[in-house]
Structure 1
Amino acid sequence: MTAAIVLAGGRATRMGGVDKAAVDIAGRSLIDIVYEAVADAHPVIVVGPESLERPGVRVIREDPPFGGPVAGLAAALAAIDTDEVWLLACDLPRASAIVAQLREVPLAAADDAVILEDADGRAQWLAGRYRAGALRRALARLPEVRDASMRALVGGLALRSVVDRAGATIDLDTWDDVENYRAVTARPSSLEDES
């Protein structure tokens, strides 16, 4: 069994501090879209406020809150005992396409994770499947998890990148991103692409 950690504890400063996880995309919240993508995972842990709790989802908060994604990941990892874990951000409207592309990709003995790489060649660290032990070892190497960067965390990991051929790595960081995504997915041809 693979666990899932969804990071949703940020301040969404580029969106005016709104609850980003609750942003509506075609009648569903972003967080529910991500939960659907990892519905087969167990356990599913979300790092964020209590409002994100759903049946089958455990809410955890880093202490103190707003310590950044690495601090959130550290808090969530303490609650799982599986060998592998999905690690996803809450602002991925095509999370199911991420999971679909990576689900069957085997982790070789030397791999610590399999992640998607976007069309510009950027590694998407919060769109991947990781060995939980590798994440724990990487966390232990950091002097401090609060406000640590994901780059510092994954810098020593053996990441296997898979080119995102479905445009799944799009994330919604700003209101412009949200409106552009809504406009594109409202077009009939785009809706066909989503399925």
Structure 2
Amino acid sequence: MRYAGIVLAGGSARRLSGVDKPALSVGGKPLLARAVHALDGAARVIAVGPRRPGFDVVWTREPVPGTGPVAALAAGLVFVPEDAEAVVVLAADLPGVRRSTVDRLLAALGDGDGAVLVDAAGARQWLLGAWRVASLRAALPAETEHASLRRVLGGLRITEVPAERGEADDIDTPEDLERHR
């Protein structure tokens, strides 16, 4: 299946004193590099956020930076190739995301609209999913700024994919970062 990847690499990182989270190193590799590497099979990778050197991706920003993941997702969708059937959406703060994660999400799409990773507590990880491009575009509201990602995507036909150990972890706090260093 031909797919594109969108990495949401903006955000304010308030709980990490405003640090550039995608640039944080875990295991000697920046978090952004982990997300981009997980998308190695994509026809195109789009990163939504401030431009960072050293990445072979298409860079874009939401019209008003800081207006949330739905606005960032809409900005990234503009650059998804017309012939892509699916788009994998990843946050840029996922230390455990791998190519095998992306492969499992794409395989789980089936006839549905999307497939999302579900953590050990049973919570859907909205920024760790694969989506049919047409379904995603149709689900986006006219006003994307500050829209709820859960509300926008929650009405779609979604397959839940159980996360493997550490795969759904993200870095939101100094404690999260310490746990993964």
State the TM-score, normalized to the length of structure 1.
0.86
Report the Cα distance in structure 2 between the residues aligned to 1:26 and 1:121, rounded to whole angstroms.
Answer: 27
Alignment RMSD: 1.4
- Whether the aligned pair in 1 keeps the contact of 2:106 and 2:115 (CA below 8 Å) is no
Tell me the matched-pair count.
177
Contact kept, 8 Å, 1:31 with 1:52, in 2: the verdict is no
Structure 2: segments with no counterpart, 5+ residues: none
Kept after mapping to 2: 8 A contact 1:87/1:126: yes
Structure-1 separation of matches of 2:70 and 2:90: 12
Residues 115 and 128, structure 1, Cα contact 8 Å, conserved in 2: yes
Could you give the per-residue CA deviations for residues 157-191 of structure 1, whole angstroms, max 9, x where no partner exists?
Answer: 11100111333001111111000122xxxxxxxxx
Residue 12 of structure 1, CA deviation: 0.8
What secondary structure does 2:87 align onto? Answer: strand
- Please list every run of 5 or more consecutive structure 1 residues that lacks an aligned counterpart in the other structure: 183-195
Counterpart residue type for residue 173 of structure 1:
D
Map of 1:90 onto structure 2: 92
* Per-residue Cα deviation, 1:86-108 (whole angstroms, up to 9, x for no partner): 00000011110522432433x23
Structure with max Cα Rg: 1
Deviation track 1:80-139 (CA, whole Å, cap 9, x = no partner) reads 12110000000011110522432433x232x10011111000011111110011111110
Distance apart, 1:153 and its partner CA: 1.0
Distance 1:101 1:166, change over 3 A: farther
In 2, the alpha carbon distance for the partners of 1:116 and 1:52 equals 29
Superposition pairs of residues 3-82 of structure 1, within 5 angstroms: 3-51=4-52, 54-55=55-56, 57-80=57-80, 81=82, 82=84
Greater relative contact order structure (CA < 8 Å, 6+ sep): 2
| Cα shift at 1:9 | 1.1
1:125 is matched with 126
In 1, Cα distance between equivalents of 2:66 and 2:53:
15
User: Which of the two has greater helix per residue?
Assistant: 1
Contact 1:98/1:169, CA 8 A, preserved across alignment: no
Residues 75 and 38 of structure 1, relative CA distance in 2, 3 Å threshold:
same
